[in-house]
C-alpha cells in the first residue's frame, strides 16, 4: 500500500527514483522509515521535496552515513561505536553546515520528521542508503546483535 502511495506521489511531484526497501527487512529489526518514507512524509512544496531529495542523495552516497552535530554527546557516542566496530562512516555535521550556509537546519528538520516522536533529533544513521534510526535504534541493534550483520550487508564491514 505504501509503495503505491509513494509511487503515486513521486509521479505527481516529479520525484524520480524507485522505492527503497525497508531497513527492517534487511536487519530483521522493527519497522523503520526509509528514504521511501522520506518522500511520502515530505510536504508537497517544491523546496521541501528538494530538501528530502538532498537528504536521500547524501544518505545513499556511502555505506554508512551519520547526520550529526559537533557538540552533541549522543552523536559522539554513535560515531565512536561505529569507528570502534571498524566502520568509517561519512559524517555530516549539520551545525557546521548551517553556519556555512549549507542548509543544515533544513536537513535537520527533515530528518526529525523521520524519527519516532520523543527521540532526540540527532544523530540520524543511514546504513546502505536506508534509515536505521537515531541513537536508541543504533544501540538496540548493537545490543541485540543485528548491527554488525547489517553493516556487513551494506558493505561497511568485510570481516
Q: What is the predicted pLDDT for the residue at 63?
A: 97
pLDDT, tens digit only, all 159 positions of the chain: 323 333 333 333 333 333 233 333 333 334 344 444 444 444 557 788 899 999 999 999 999 999 999 999 999 999 999 999 999 999 999 999 988 888 899 999 999 999 999 999 999 999 999 999 999 999 999 999 999 999 999 999 987
Q: What is the predicted pLDDT for the residue at 46?
A: 78
C-alpha cell at 29: 529489526
- Would you say residue 159 lies in a domain? no
- Would you say residue 76 lies in a domain? yes
- Would you say residue 92 lies in a domain? yes
The C-alpha atoms of residue 26 and residue 150 are separated, in whole angstroms, by: 7
Return the H-helix or E-strand segment holding 16: none
Q: What is the predicted pLDDT for the residue at 26?
A: 33
Q: Are 147 and 64 in contact (CB under 8 A)?
A: no
Task: Supply angle C-alpha 27, 31, 35, rounded to 5.
Answer: 85
Return the H-helix or E-strand segment holding 92: strand 90-93
Q: Indicate whether this model's pTM tops 0.85.
A: no
For residue 107, the domain's CATH number is 3.40.30.10
The domain containing residue 52 runs over which residues? 30-154
Taking the alpha carbons of 114, 97, 81, 120 in that order, is the dihedral positive or negative?
A: negative
Nearest Cα residue to 4 out of 26, 36, 35, 33 = 36
* Number of domains into which the chain is organized: 1
Q: Are 79 and 66 in contact (CB under 8 A)?
A: yes
- Would you say residue 107 lies in a domain? yes
- Would you say residue 10 lies in a domain? no
The C-alpha atoms of residue 159 and residue 154 are separated, in whole angstroms, by: 13
Q: What is the predicted pLDDT for the residue at 44?
A: 55
C-alpha cell at 134: 537515531
Angle between the N-to-C axes of helices 147-154 and 135-144, in degrees from 0 to 180, rounded to the nearest 10 = 100
- Would you say residue 64 lies in a domain? yes
Mark residue 129 as left, alpha or beta (left: phi above 0; alpha: psi -120 to 50; beta: remaining).
left
Return the H-helix or E-strand segment holding 114: none
- Would you say residue 100 lies in a domain? yes
- Would you say residue 3 lies in a domain? no
Amino acid at each position: 500500500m505504501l509503495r503505491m502511495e509513494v509511487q503515486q506521489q513521486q509521479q505527481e511531484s516529479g520525484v524520480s527514483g524507485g522505492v527503497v526497501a525497508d531497513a527492517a527487512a534487511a536487519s530483521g529489526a522493527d519497522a523503520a522509515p526509509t528514504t521511501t518514507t522520506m518522500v511520502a512524509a515530505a510536504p508537497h512544496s517544491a523546496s521541501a521535496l528538494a530538501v528530502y531529495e538532498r537528504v536521500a542523495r547524501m544518505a545513499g552516497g556511502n555505506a554508512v552515513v551519520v547526520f550529526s552535530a559537533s557538540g552533541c554527546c549522543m552523536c559522539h557516542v554513535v560515531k565512536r561505536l561505529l569507528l570502534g566496530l571498524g566502520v568509517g562512516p561519512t559524517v555530516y555535521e549539520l551545525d557546521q553546515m548551517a553556519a556555512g550556509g549549507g542548509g543544515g537546519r533544513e536537513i535537520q528538520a527533515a530528518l526529525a520528521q523521520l524519527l519516532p516522536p520523543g527521540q532526540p533529533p540527532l544523530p540520524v544513521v543511514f546504513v546502505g542508503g536506508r534509515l536505521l534510526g537515531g541513537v536508541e535504534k543504533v544501540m538496540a541493534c548493537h545490543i541485540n546483535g543485528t548491527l554488525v550483520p547489517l553493516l556487513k550487508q551494506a558493505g561497511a564491514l568485510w570481516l
